[in-house]
A and B are shown apart, each in its own frame.
Chain A
Amino acid sequence: MQIQFSQKEQDFCAQVDGFIAQYWPAESQVIGARGAVHVQAWYKAVADAGWSVPHWPVKFGGAQWSPVQHYIWHSRCMTANAPPTRTFATEHVGPLLTECLPEELFAKYLTAIRDFSAGWCLGWMEAQWPDLSERMQTTLTEANNDAAQTNTYVLSGEKRAVLGVLGAKWILVGYQPINPSSDAVTHHDMECGLCIVDLHAPGVDVRSSSAAQSQFGTVTFTDVVVNSAEILPVSGQSFVQRIAQRSSNSEQYSGLSTGPVEAQAKDVAVAIHLVAPALQRQLTDIQGYIDAQGYIDDEELGQEINELGVDLATLHALEMRILAEAESAAPRLSPLVAQIAARKIRAKLGALQVASFGYYALPDFDARLFDNEGPLNPQAHIYEQNASSHVGQGLASIGGDRDEFELKDTLAGSELGLNDTSGENR
């Protein structure tokens, strides 16, 4: 057993630390102090360094990193509060497109993902959610093509709870083909398909949801024209299942529902999001806020902070074990254990945030931005946005479909050999 990184890995640590110090210096690391200019400069530097999509195939811009190198890069970024490079686009859309997009479209889509110049979102959830056995109401039909406009289709329907839609340029839409005679739609024998739609295309209407999280939105498609090249030859269900397998926060991608998830790939440590460094940073921020307020002497808060510290030490140990076991022949710990533990810590962090903010937990930060009057709490303004986002994160974990119960069902089967529960026993 050995806790230290190898010399080669330590050298990589130093390289990453140097990069962050240069492009995301300490003054940028408090969220309240960061500006859009800093964020853009950061993304440009990451893309220029070739570190934006290290997990992609090399020919598309990947870096062939080991699981430990991925961990070093992402954990250092999390600790520095750097803008995230693991986005829906870099994590899920890009790898999908590299597999199935026609080569002539690589430059259009992949380059924009690689340099962070265009956001993506997923339109999956519909009004009849969550019963996935129902057919999707969003439909794709073959257009009445004329000689000038061949191989086009028409998309109609509505997608709800679309995460990140307000900052996105493109959306992946799950649809039901209703023209089975068309080869373009049915040749991959799927229940529902996926297509790419420009959110600024005619017939697309985007509205912000009035849910707790303002980054959710509803997208309506009214006879939107889709080219056949933008219809992806994959099953929509397979794609969302893959997202759930590769993400610790699948619920954040517009309410996905999947079947049992099992750790199967050697790159599981890369695939899952190791989040302990990010959560540790959040706890540090909250502690900073409490220190600034001067009531750290509150014994209960102090005890809660210590408890969260231990919880995070435990999560860190779990994640290190998962990471180490990804490259060894040792029995493998299910990443779901870390996933459930992280979920609980997020909820505790949100609660601690509310407790430490007192009355200043009440105002909605996003709403405050509109008056352009600056922070409400003059004593701790640099922590204000950070803290507000923690409350939101606590709410986000409730909005998902792949909840703790489902994760535990999976563990009961895979780790304990207990039969799947049948409906009447639930």
Chain B
Amino acid sequence: MDFSFTEEQTLLQESIERFIQNDYSFDDRQKAAGSEQGYSEQNWQTFAELGWLGVGFSEADGGFGGGAIESMVMMEQFGYGLVIEPMLGTVILAGGAIKHGGSEALKAKYLPSIIDGSAQGALAYAEPQARFNLADVTTTAAADGDGYVLNGHKAVVLNGPSADFVVVSARTSGGQRDQDGITLFVVDTKTAGLSRRDYPTVDAFRASEITFDNVKVGADSVVGEVGQGFAILEHAIDDGILAVGAEAVGCMEKLYKETVEYCKQREQFGQAIGKFQVLQHRMVDMFMEHEQSKSLMFMAGMRIDEGYGPEAQKAISAFKVQIGKSGKFVGQNAVQLHGGMGMTEELNIGHYFKRLTIIETLFGNVDFHLKRFGSL
């Protein structure tokens, strides 16, 4: 049993930490978030050059052979810097689905372009009626000659506006909420019949509603086995939970540390407000929420690397519950302790809180994962 990082993992952590500290100011982040694309293409290329986009892929696929721990290390630092670039949508979700279930041909076609930064992807799995149920799929894929015809509506597709391709879940058989009968397809976003409605999310990321209207795809675009896409989807989503959870841990660390520093400086009644015991204890609570989340993050990461299965799923759901509760607590109290400033656009505090709020909902909220935890 060992909770320490390897030398490579430490180097990865330190290199991202340096980048955030030296080259990723909050003002730059806001500028990128407000651009047409919603992120900095220059930063994205830097990530590719530094090898960060290939960290989670095997060497055979052109990556660096890292696993869940490496992705976790990276996303925690991204959370600390409130990085807006679409690591989640492209690398973790779309790339993850292809990594877990794609044929060698699909991997060869898409993964190198993800790793070198030349392609953006998205995972289109949510539907308007489904809430957090991954198996609630009404989008259909009907056999059509050698291929399939897709029809349906996918909701809140993260990184949809920039995606060159989407991995989409569609029903090839079974009832609306059956886990069996779901198939994943990779679809080029320029394919005829695919249309998008793009918008920003509350945390300044970008998403799309994507409609498939008789979109034709070949049989070679199927990810994994026909009708067996649910397991691949669930695995990719659980990777996503670990990633956004790690991001949340980074956000929480930044928030509690900034709050402590602020309370050491801010004076009321002739002394720093950080001297008041009631506020000290509030900050200790924030610190504790962070440490508890971080500990569960380590466990979840190690469980996934140990082998994806019920134990890992249970750890992931526990982690998601914890970051949901902790993120809300830390975010709310950071804003509270900063007073009115905490809500301004100019200060980073409110933006971290927005990201934490979105993360609480992403991939299932606290209630959803409590039930999942209990059922496993």
Nearest residue (CB) in A for B367 is A303
Q: Is the CB of B374 within 8 A of A68?
A: no
Which listed residue (B4, B285, B296) contacts A317, Cβ 8 A? B296
Nearest residue (CB) in B for A3 is B302
Contact of A419 with B1 at beta-carbon distance under 8 Å, contacts A303-B370, A306-B370, A314-B322 already known: no
Contacts of B367 in A (CB 8 A): 303
Q: Interface-forming stretch among A46-54, A135-143, A168-176, A408-416?
A: A408-416
Q: Is the CB of B288 within 8 A of A340?
A: yes
Q: Interface-forming stretch among A114-122, A123-131, A318-326, A365-373?
A: A318-326
Q: Interface-forming stretch among B36-44, B231-239, B272-280?
A: B272-280
Q: Is the CB of A408 within 8 A of B280?
A: yes
Say yes or no: is A405 at the interface (Cβ < 8 Å to chain B): yes
Contacts of A302 in B (CB 8 A): 374
Say yes or no: is B55 at the interface (Cβ < 8 Å to chain A): no
Interface residues of A in 371-426 (CB under 8 A from B): 405, 408-409, 411-412, 415-419, 421-422, 425-426
Q: Is the CB of A417 within 8 A of B370?
A: no
Main secondary structure of the interface of B (DSSP, over half): helix
Q: Is the CB of B302 within 8 A of A418?
A: no
Q: Is the CB of A425 within 8 A of B1?
A: no
Q: Is the CB of B276 within 8 A of A421?
A: yes
Q: Is the CB of A425 within 8 A of B69?
A: no
Q: How many A-B residue pairs have CB under 8 A?
A: 135
Contacts of B277 in A (CB 8 A): 405, 409, 421, 425-426
Size category of the binding interface on chain B: 35 or more
Nearest residue (CB) in A for B315 is A313
Contacts of B9 in A (CB 8 A): 1
Q: Is the CB of B292 within 8 A of A306?
A: no
Contacts of A181 in B (CB 8 A): none
Contact with B along A94-137 (1 / 0, CB 8 A): 00000000000000000000000000000000000000000000
Which listed residue (A3, A303, A421) contacts B1, Cβ 8 A? A3
Interface residues of B in 297-331 (CB under 8 A from A): 298-299, 301-303, 305-306, 314-315, 318, 321-322
Shortest C-beta distance, A94 to chain B (Å), equals: 28
Contacts of B3 in A (CB 8 A): 1, 320-321, 324-325, 328, 330
Contacts of A3 in B (CB 8 A): 1, 299, 302-303, 306
Contacts of B197 in A (CB 8 A): none
Q: Is the CB of B2 within 8 A of A1?
A: yes
Contact of A330 with B280 at beta-carbon distance under 8 Å, contacts A318-B295, A418-B264 already known: no
Which listed residue (B295, B314, B373) contacts A321, Cβ 8 A? B295
Contacts of A426 in B (CB 8 A): 277
Contacts of A191 in B (CB 8 A): none
Say yes or no: is B131 at the interface (Cβ < 8 Å to chain A): no
Shortest C-beta distance, A31 to chain B (Å), equals: 25
Q: Is the CB of B371 within 8 A of A1?
A: no
Q: Is the CB of A310 within 8 A of B284?
A: no
Which listed residue (A1, A5, A316) contacts B302, Cβ 8 A? A1
5 closest Cβ contacts across the A-B interface?
Answer: A317-B295, A306-B374, A324-B3, A412-B280, A3-B302
Residues of B with Cβ closer than 8 Å to A?
1-6, 9, 69, 260, 263-264, 271, 274-277, 280-281, 283-285, 287-288, 291-292, 295-296, 298-299, 301-303, 305-306, 314-315, 318, 321-322, 367, 370-371, 373-374
Q: A303-B370, A324-B2, A411-B288 are in contact. List 10 more A-B contacts (CB 8 A).
A: A1-B9, A3-B1, A310-B370, A318-B291, A318-B292, A320-B295, A333-B295, A337-B291, A412-B280, A425-B277
Could you pull out 18 A-B pairs where Cβ atoms are within 8 angstroms? A3-B1, A3-B299, A5-B1, A303-B370, A307-B370, A309-B373, A310-B322, A314-B292, A314-B296, A320-B1, A320-B3, A341-B292, A411-B287, A417-B264, A418-B274, A418-B283, A421-B275, A421-B280
